[in-house]
Every structure is written in structure tokens, then in C-alpha cells.
Amino acid sequence: MELLRAPYFSNWAVLGEPAEEAARGVRAAETSDLLVDDEQRKKQIDESMANVAGSLDGAARGRFAARLRSMVPVLSACGLDADALRATAAAEGFEQIEDLYADHPLARALIQRGVMAAYQHHREQDPPEPDAPPADASPIIQP
């Protein structure tokens, strides 16, 4: 995603309660004691993030499209015509593509960025895990 690497877009992310909820889902999938294979965990994480895309209503999509369109003249003035075209296409996609997480690379990246920021915040705020017993300790017989 070339637009995300540009300094103009370095702070863009999808934030808010849906991203927070998805971050909690990612954290739960990561820390679950259930025996779940990596593919199932990845599916749970993807579903959590896809729910964020589903929470973007027409107004939110319109705001992202308007922000992208407002960047087009800036990018053009800086001689970044290819990025200006990408921003125009991404803006149109925000308004026209139904499944943003599956079909819109910029939206997916912005969602992932927001969820990962919230996830990092949750990891930092969680209390440290209690010391685990030694691996050879019996779960039944306690010293």
C-alpha cells in the first residue's frame, strides 16, 4: 500500500469502539487457553477486523473519501501525481466497494493499523501475568 508509506497518511487509522472491540478479540484469540490451531486463530482475528469494516456507515465512508479527495491537490502540488491518482481511486472505493476489508487495500490497512494501535494499548494496560509454576510442577500436588 504505497499511500500508507507516504508521510501525509502516516497517522491515518480507523479508530473508535469497533477498533477497540476488535483489539479485544485479537487479544482474546492470542491469549486463549483453548487448543486452537493457527489457522483458526487467524480466522478469528480476520473476523474481528472485518467487523470494523462493517461498522463503517455511509457517513464514515464519506468522511474518509472526502479526506482522500482533499489530499489530491496536495499530492499533485508536490509532484506526486501517481499518489494523487491512487488517492482518487481509494476515495471512490470508500464510497462504492461493499466489503471494505476484503476488497479495499487502503481501508483494510487503515483498519489493521487502528486495531493494532488499540491492541498495543490493551497489552500495555493489562496487568502482568502471575508467575507461572515451573513446567515440571504438578497441577494437582502443590508444595
Tell which residue, 3, 124, 1, 117, has the closest CA to residue 49. 117
In a domain, 140, yes or no: no
* DSSP code for 129: P
Model pLDDT for residues 7-58, shown as the tens digit of each residue = 888 888 888 899 999 998 888 877 777 767 788 888 888 888 888 998 889 9
* pLDDT confidence bin for 140, thresholds 50/70/90: low
The per-residue pLDDT of the chain, averaged, comes to 84
Q: Which residue has the cell 497518511?
A: 9
Model pLDDT for residues 27-38, shown as the tens digit of each residue = 887 777 776 778
Apex 119 CA angle, 114 and 121, nearest 5: 100
Number of structural domains the chain divides into: 1
Angle between helices 105-125 and 17-31 (to 10 degrees): 70
Residue 29: the pLDDT is 78
In a domain, 97, yes or no: yes
Tell which residue, 8, 7, 10, has the closest CA to residue 109. 10
In a domain, 43, yes or no: yes
In a domain, 7, yes or no: no
Tell which residue, 9, 41, 6, 8, has the closest CA to residue 107. 9
In a domain, 142, yes or no: no
In a domain, 139, yes or no: no
In a domain, 136, yes or no: no
pTM above 0.95, yes or no: no
In a domain, 76, yes or no: yes
The whole domain housing 51 covers: 13-124
